[in-house]
Amino acid sequence: MGFANWPEPTLSDWLFVRDGRTSKALIHSRLKANSAAALTQAALAGLGLALLAEDLVRPHLATGRLVRVLPNYETPPRPVHLLFHPDRRQTPKLKSFIDVVVEHLGSGEAVRL
């Protein structure tokens, strides 16, 4: 099962990292969806493998309803961007939100505040 980005062809690559080396697996999915929730439900229904964020499926991994197939491999990190208008005053609420996101997702090298 694959995540659909409708303009792209049905073939896609899944990337995996182990010991600092990236491997690519060419995937041809018969089922594609543009919703991680839909792919999770399909995996729970036994429709195949899905590449999903661990945070989204942690409860299902804990109960054994889903099983991690390649436990020795990770996926490459994906960037996360926090955007706000440069003229916007950083209110305490906005500053607190930014601090929490950076704390939980990591600062990385590209953090600019």
pLDDT in tens, 2-35: 655 556 555 578 889 999 899 999 888 888 888 8
| pTM for this predicted structure | 0.67
Question: Which residues are within 8 A (CB) of 102 and not within 5 positions of it... i.e. 6 or more apart?
Answer: 111
Contacts 24+ apart (CB under 8 A), 106-112: 108/79, 110/79
C-alpha–C-alpha distance, residues 56 and 60, integer Å: 9
Residue pair 36/52 in contact by the 8 Å Cβ criterion: yes
Q: What is the pLDDT of residues 54-96, one digit of tens each?
A: 888 999 999 999 999 999 998 887 777 888 777 777 788 988 9
Quick one: which of 79, 66, 4 has its CA closest to 35?
4
Instruction: Reduce the DSSP state of residue 29 to 3 states and report it.
Output: coil
